[in-house]
Amino acid sequence: MTMMQASGRRPSRISAGTIGIYAFLLIAAVFFLLPAWIMLMTSLKPMEEIRLGNILMWPNAVTFEPWIRAWSEACTGLDCRGVSVGFWNSVRILIPSLILSIAAGAVTGYALSFWRVRGANVMFGLLLLGAFIPYQVFLYPLVRIFAVTGIYNSFACIVLVHVIFGLPIMTLLFRNYYASLPVELFKAARVDGGGFWSIFIRIILPMSTPILIVATILQVTGIWNDFLFGLTFAGRDNLPMTVQLNNIVSSRQGESQYNTEMAATILTAMIPLAVYFISGRWFVRGIASGAVKG
């Protein structure tokens, strides 16, 4: 009994390594939280108080007027309807892009893991190569291709771009996850006469919940935070929230409204932050369940 108590007793001294870890975590937390605190405090202050400095201090007179202006009145060039227009554009772009990219990645990863089609390894290598080439390399060729096909600067164009560029990482995630599943299940289904789609829908897909959560988190944050593709391919009528935020900050009509700009920035970041706080633990579970195995 004495030996068990001794072995389970915590060390009385804090090691230098532990101090270093906590110091690093504290510095990292301050580094990331300080800009967020400044944005929040600035967005709650009237411009008269902002001119006095003290950007870290709690506002003397809290006001939500900058948030209202940012949502419905801020000007993006000559259009003064706030970021609400960009928000709904981003939602419209996100939903089909998310569903199609995950569906394409899941089916492709399933085919590469279990069906062993001819040239599968070459195809997988090309997909991975596309994931590591800078996006800027593809911009001009894609602009020319979409212009010839007649869909450039349209809703379909921006959705298709997100699906194309999401396919490599989605395929990698699903292929590695499916490679960790027992192959005996697939073989037994084949013996029972299961085909490509019946096995995928009835057996593989119900077992894919962890990786589906991981894929959803990655795609939601990636698509929502995108600026380059939205600016290049969405067209004037489909500009996402990030592009409109840039237009609000870049537009100059008289005095800069820093409180409105900070409020618009926080509003733009709300969706990724909500996804992180709500689904963060599921993301870790999905990764631990085999999302990066293989």
pLDDT of residue 37: 92
For the chain, percent of residues with pLDDT exceeding 90: 36
Q: What value does the mean pLDDT of the chain take?
A: 85
Least confident of 35-39, 210-214, 249-253: 249-253
| Model confidence pLDDT, tens digit, residues 99-131 | 999 999 999 989 888 877 777 777 777 777 777
pLDDT tens-digit map of 227-240? 999 999 998 889 99
Give, in order, the Cα–Cα distances in Å from 18 to each of 13, 26, 168, 220: 10, 12, 39, 35
Element (H, E) at 90: helix 84-110
pLDDT for residue 286: 65
Per-residue pLDDT of 69-86, as tens digits, reads 999 888 877 778 889 999
In order of their start, the domains of the chain are 11-63 (no CATH), 84-291 (1.10.3720.10)
Of 280 and 270, the structure prediction assigns the larger pLDDT to: 270
Q: Give bridge partners of residue 76 from the DSSP assignment.
A: 79
| Token representation of residue 193 | 């006469």
Helix (H, G, I), strand (E, B) or coil at 61: coil
Look at residue 115 in the predicted model and tell me its pLDDT: 77
Residue 3, token pair as written in the block: 């030996």
DSSP string, 195-242: -HHHHIIIIIGGG-HHHHHHHHHHHHHHHHH--HHHHHHS-GGG--HH
What is the per-residue burial (b if ≥16 Cβ within 10 Å, else e) of 82-103?
A: bbbbbbebbeebbebbbebbbe
Mean pLDDT across 242-259? 79
Instruction: Identify the three-state secondary structure at position 292.
Output: coil
In this predicted structure, what is the pLDDT of residue 134? 83
Q: What percent of the chain has pLDDT over 70?
A: 89
Q: How confident is the model at residue 293 (pLDDT cuts 50, 70, 90)?
A: very low
